[in-house]
Amino acid sequence: MPADPVAAVTHADPYPFYETLRAGPPLAWNESLRLWVASRADVIEALLLSPGALRVRPVSEPVPRAIAGSPAGEVFGHLVRMNDGPAHTAHKPALQRALAGMDLNAAHADALQVARLVPEAPLSDTLFAMPIQAVAHLLGFAPETLPQVTAWMRDFVACLSPLSTEAQLQRASIAADALMTRFEAMAAIAPPRHGTLLAAVLSEGAAGSPPSRALLANLVGLLSQTCDATAGLLGNSLVALTREPDLRAAAHTQGGLHAIVEETARHDPSVQNTRRFVAEPVTTAGVQLAAGDAVLLVLASANRDPEFNAEPDRFMPIRTQRRMLGFGHGVHACPGQALACTVAAAGLQAMLARGIDLDALRERGWHYRPSANARIPVFD
């Protein structure tokens, strides 16, 4: 059993541990993490729907101290994912509408074409490069810039982890600066390349005026939200195929691939938890939370809650009602869910078409990249 719900994220099999959490109180205090822990689906849904009192960032530290005042901190500070209130409502609807308006069949075909050009080794890099390059391409980046965008994005995302080093923080700021400059230049072309996700987002804003720094940062945010989470979804889908050889026949069709990816997102999600920070005293699930408290919401446990999904531990690509919280819920729900599943399915298709040896992968085994919330396998 893992030591705690954060260690569980990268444990070989955290799910029996999550079951023990669900058998405990709806909100349990974890002294070593100094966090309240929610593990049942109904409690997590209620917390994610709680207005006002529960925020995505601590009131005292809207931007992590390590990057405050730097270019990486500027991007972070504008992200809808990291804001509540006006900074969230100013840009979330535009991102949501642009993503909801995408033609997912065309996006799959595009992502497949891009994935075919990504080097197949080392596999752990391929897992990141395929989704980032697919979304960068959909945004409008030219094919020859995609490897550079991948390098910048991986540098930027490293600063989002509390585990990052000083050198990583510096590289993150260089990357943030470079990406903001690129988006500014692409947005300045009037109009930006037709049919791109960039054009769709910009068409939501005031016509004729250049995009604000906040909007540019949120374009960078579309790539950063893609990065670790979709690499994990693609990697965990591969893990599912290595573990369950019976699934491999289903992976021959596009529909089958999508079903495998969606069930992976429920059964073994890449985003295992998220956090909320108490801004003002509130009573929830019978517990009085004080301002300054933090709550860990174990989304991956909710997906395996038998009150939420029937036979939750079984991997069933075809389910009558698949429910999951791994893409969040409520005002901060992920607007990229459908695109993420599409891009992961295309990546999986490209890997299988190259003849990836799933049995050899199973024999070699894998472990998980160090992280407090993302479950991303390392195969090499």
Fill in the per-residue mask, 56 to 85: x = in contact with ligand HEM (CB under 6 A), - = not in contact: x-----------------------xx----
* Beta strand extents in the chain (DSSP E only): 27-30, 35-38, 54-55, 274-278, 282-284, 287-289, 294-297, 367-368, 377-378
In the bound state with ligand HEM, the residue whose beta carbon lies nearer, of 158 and 339, is 339
Residues 123-182 within binding reach of ligand HEM (CB under 6 A): 135
> Under the criterion CB under 6 A, does residue 368 sit at the interface with ligand HEM?
no
Which of 215, 222, 247, 300 contacts ligand HEM by CB under 6 A? 222
> Under the criterion CB under 6 A, does residue 332 sit at the interface with ligand HEM?
yes
CB of 154 vs ligand HEM, minimal distance in Å: 15
CA 135/CA 123 separation, integer angstroms: 19
3-state SS string over 294-360? EEEECHHHHHCCCCCCCCCCCCCCCCCCCCCCCCCCHHHCCCCHHHHHHHHHHHHHHHHHCCCCHHH
CB of 95 vs ligand HEM, minimal distance in Å: 5
> Under the criterion CB under 6 A, does residue 326 sit at the interface with ligand HEM?
yes
In the bound state with ligand HEM, the residue whose beta carbon lies nearer, of 140 and 336, is 336
In the bound state with ligand HEM, the residue whose beta carbon lies nearer, of 109 and 170, is 109
How many chain residues are in contact with ligand HEM, going by CB under 6 A?
Answer: 25
CA 13/CA 8 separation, integer angstroms: 8
Burial class (CB in 10 A: 0-12, 13-18, 19+), 352: middle
Cβ atoms of 254 and 275 within 8 Å: the answer is no
Q: Which stretch binds ligand HEM (CB under 6 A): 10-18, 29-37, 336-344, 352-360?
A: 336-344
Q: Determine the straight-line distance between the first and last CA of the chain, rounded to whole angstroms.
A: 25
**Which residues of this chain interact with ligand HEM, rule CB under 6 A?**
56, 80-81, 92, 95, 135, 221-222, 225-226, 229-230, 233, 270-271, 274, 326-328, 332, 334-336, 339-340
